[in-house]
A and B are shown apart, each in its own frame.
Chain A
Amino acid sequence: MTVRNRILVLLSAVAVLAAVAAGAVLHASARAERRDQTQAGGPAVTSGPVTLTARGRLVFRNMAWGPHRDELTAVPASAPAGARTASGVKCLRFYAAAGTGVCLQAVHGAVSDTYRALILDARLKETARYDVPGIPSRARVSPSGRFAAWTAFVGGDSYAGTNFSTRAAIVDTRTGRLIPSLEEFGIVKDGRRYRAADVNFWGVTFAADDRTFYATMATKGKTYLVRGDLEARTVTTVRTNMECPSLSPDGTRIAFKKRVPGLPADAPWRLYVLDLRTLRETPLAESRSVDDQAVWQDAHTLVYALPGDYGADLYAVPSDGTGHPHRLTTAAVSPAYLD
């Protein structure tokens, strides 16, 4: 083939490939526009004031298509599927307790997206902000509202990157003191001091004493429930195969997701509750794989997200293993009950 012909072949191929590529981008951006239009049959969402001290309200990230997509919205806890009040504050992940909120957001920069954590007061005004080193995953606030925690996935950096790690950070909202990664803490594993480069932490949950917390630690392919001490700056392993712990309001039980043998690799978890006094595990009535840090609606009910048509839907299930799960509302994630 002459050089001229080769260039002609190349040019025509480029024309075809460019058309396909442009078509794909246009198709995706048209879809993006559709997402800004309200869908028939979806929940009604209107702008309005949202505060974190309104008793009996449930606040979550609204995922329904329309102008208020991704905003924090509030509904009455007694009617979670009802009309939503949108706050105008956009978050990827959110949690709140005692009038303090933590909101993990994406910041769209010129050449890449970055993430940050905002500490919000009761009127959703930002009081502090911190850089988050990767894609936000979990968010929690201590029952007193003093401490906030978040987890982020930090992406792989190798070819076809398959190395992922997580970073869990805790901040004292009163003093502003930040623990950027729990990896700074001393680790006591099976009674002995432990160190490893591959240690990852995620899914922090706080006790009422503002000193104790629980979290997941992973190392050498195993996950552990750890109990942390914010003053001694240590974490101690408690049990294996427990992820995303969530401490009950009375501090006696921990809801968590457990990797159950024999399940498919991409849907390996079931919800369980561990009684901290008897150390007995109770499987919950939810038969699907749950990849979420559950939230206690009250002493007897757990709420969690499952994949849905618009990203995620919220479900509730009794915490004692009885009953059946039921859907609270569609197109919602990151719930927080205000009381």
Chain B
Amino acid sequence: MYVADSRAGAPGAPVSADGAVRPSAGRRRAAVAPTVLALGTVSLITDVSSEMVTAVLPLYLVAGLGLSPLGFGLLDGVYNGFSALVRLAGGHLADRGGGRHKWVAGIGYGLSALCKPLLLLAHTLTPIGLVLAADRTGKGLRTAPRDALISLSSTPENRGRAFGVHRAMDTAGALLGPLVAFLILRATVDGYDAVFTVSFCVAVLGVLVLVLFVPNGAPTPPTAPPAPQPAATAATAPTASTAPAERPTLRAALGLLRRRDLRRITLCALLLGLATVSDSFVYLLLQRRLGVPDRWFALLPLGTAAAFLLLAVPLGRLADRVGGRRVFLAGHGALLLAYAVLLSSWHGTALPYAVLLLHGGFYAATDGVLMAAASDSVPPALRSSGLALVQTGQALARFACSLGFGAAWTLWGDRTALLASTVALAVCAGCCALALRPAREAVS
């Protein structure tokens, strides 16, 4: 079943994108590198596996094990800090030795896969918490090297689309996972062990596709990279020694922040992250302010994911045409609009859909697009470290925002907290529009 999926997924990856990608088949094939499709397939399969577990976990803890899951999120703060370190380490390790991206990403995927059978053995909260932490460590480890591989196997002209295709495939997996888990639970009674075992098999398949079909070492871009980035040639060579200036040492990785372009984009991601209210707050606000009925509450994340899936490729293509930074900023414009709708508290039936569409559009215009845009400012030999830096800055800023937002809610109530976030987002977006302007001209 999965062979069919993954193999059909290769040329048909733009299944999701088909409607949007209308040009001739020949051009499409040239536009998205096989490595990107392979990585998209790996992400799709891995997300099926991990979302299967995520979907049944609350039920498993409460109904299966009879545990009380409240207070489970208490370690999240500590873990977020650790996760940031793991991400930076993963990014840096992948750069060392000239292109170990595949293997570092592989270790990340492998670690997450190994966590699935461990769930069969863990029956109390502490071991389950540790297994989930290990799972997330795997995710932290693999993200930057994987994104670096995507960016290294595409050209600046089609990078937005490459990330768009990858994110669309990734999200498709996230939508399929809960469905698979549900079908298994339906075929059994309390078949959580079956869900975990199948999830493990699916995860192993993902690792296998990575090992077999993602090229080793620094991948060769499908077309010769354009001149402006002289270090790009170093990445195509088997070792980084030909570009001593960009040797992927820790110092060089830290030195990335001395680059004006990358510093600006990192700062912008950080600033905007500080005004990005976390998903769970958005859904809570949707329910409280727009009166979304309780029974739809669990389906709200699916709405965001569906919009993300549909818009990832078109917006990635748009980023290639008009510049990633512009689309990245526009994405935050969509988020601003979503906040505005939430603030208005109109009770139209279409409004929750509009908010979810804007929220999914925000992800489609920022998640992969930011990686594509940041790639332009990082030399290939340090690509993974650079992307990890941007991602970590953004993740930490978002975490800080969710703490701040929670505190503001306590002090002033939900409306004022949201109003403050809206103003902050507008100000940050304005600053970033100014800061990114000169660079934007260079991109487009």
Contact = CB atoms under 8 A, between A and B. Distances in A.
A9 B204 CA distance: 13
A212 to B, nearest CB: 25
Contact of A156 (B57, B75, B125, B187): B57
A154 B406 contact: no
Interface in A1-49: 1, 6, 9-11, 13-14, 17-18, 20-21, 24-25, 27-29, 31-32, 35
Contacts of B62: 135, 137, 153
Chain A interface main SS type: mixed
A199 to B, nearest CB: 9
Interface string B64-81: 001111111111100000
Contact of A111 (B74, B75, B182): B182
A177 to B, nearest CB: 15
Nearest to A183: B288
A176 B54 CA distance: 35
B414 A197 contact: yes
B199 to A, nearest CB: 9
Interface in B61-102: 62-63, 66-76
Contacts of B71: 218, 221
B293 interface: yes
A134 B58 CA distance: 9
Interface stretch (B255-263, B278-286, B334-342): B278-286
A173 to B, nearest CB: 18
A86 B410 CA distance: 48
B197 A20 contact: yes
Interface in B115-134: 124-126, 129, 132
Interface string B186-230: 111111011001100110110011001100000000000000000
A108 interface: yes
A265 interface: yes
A6 B208 CA distance: 10
Interface in B2-24: 2-3
B409 interface: yes
B413 A195 contact: yes
Interface in B384-441: 405-406, 409-414, 417
Nearest to B208: A13
Given A14-B205, A137-B62, A158 B295 contact: no
A195 B3 contact: no
A162 B53 contact: no
A234 to B, nearest CB: 16
A11 B406 CA distance: 49
A318 B145 CA distance: 61
Given A157-B283, A194-B410, 11 more contacts: A18-B201, A21-B198, A24-B193, A24-B194, A25-B184, A27-B194, A133-B298, A153-B69, A155-B57, A264-B124, A264-B126
Interface of B: 1-3, 50, 53-54, 57-59, 62-63, 66-76, 124-126, 129, 132, 135-136, 139, 178-179, 182, 184-191, 193-194, 197-198, 201-202, 204-205, 208-209, 212-213, 279-281, 283-284, 288, 293-295, 297-298, 300-301, 405-406, 409-414, 417
